Amino acid sequence: MRTTLLALAGILLIGGLGAAPQAADDIKELFNGKDLSGWDGDAEVWSVQDGVITGRTTAEKPVKHNTFLIWKGGTVGDFELHAMFKITGGNSGIQYRSKDLGDHIVAGYQADMVFSDPDKYTGILYEERGRGILAQRGEKIEIDEAGKKNVVGSLGDSAEIAKAVKKGDWNEYMIVARGNHITQTINGMQTIDLIDNETAKAAKEGILALQIHMGPPMTVQFKDIKLKELKQ
């Protein structure tokens, strides 16, 4: 009996040890730290410098419209995304559940980030080429079937939440989308909470992309981009 119990314990232990890598396998590294393999964007704007994705515009080479670096690994539905970002000047964002309109133009949900003082926009949820600002920083919003945005709660004062952002330094964005419920978090501080019930416009699946905004010269950088697909 003792031998049988020991053998059974060994099987359970091996099974337990074998389960751990499966959780790690659920997380996809979307950037290899070397080049833009798996991504597509304007080579005049996007490159890899010092091991990080770098988007840059200059006074001599401005962009004529918002342009995007698009992840070509497929689409995302329910997911958790982690990405480190640093921005100097201008405006950028992380697109998700979005549409590729061609010519590196993207429409859809965007986790916004800007370099400005005061900072009114980093952390908000914006819909590029769509409904505009869906949730201001600090808001819990529910959009009804008719498209009306209703404030149903608060995550705190916008200016206080903004203090979590390290201006001109690396910050971590976390985006979680499950069904019609979306949350965005920066450096552990939740910035928005959205329930999107407008069936005709609420995207349940789409592409991922990174933005360079038209306007003054700017630089935005990304690294450690990790995606975990969530199951219903």
Check whether 3 has a pLDDT greater than 60.
Answer: no
Backbone angles phi, psi at 15, to 5 degrees: -60, -40
Check whether 14 has a pLDDT greater than 50.
Answer: no
Could you give the domains of the chain? 30-229 (2.60.120.560)
DSSP assignment, residue 231?
A: P
Quick one: pLDDT at residue 8? 44
Check whether 32 has a pLDDT greater than 70.
Answer: yes
Give the tens place of pLDDT for each residue, 56-107.
Answer: 999 999 999 999 999 999 999 999 999 999 999 999 999 999 999 999 999 9
Lookup: tokens for 221? 């950088």
Residues 42 and 55: beta-carbon distance below 8 Å:
no
The CA distance from 221 to 153, in Å, is 33
DSSP assignment, residue 230?
A: P
Three-state DSSP at 116 gives coil
Partners of 118 in beta bridges = none
Quick one: pLDDT at residue 25? 64
Give the tens place of pLDDT for each residue, 154-184.
Answer: 999 999 999 999 999 999 999 999 999 999 9
Backbone angles phi, psi at 13, to 5 degrees: -65, -45
The number of residues in the chain equals 232
The CA distance from 229 to 150, in Å, is 29
Three-state DSSP at 207 gives strand
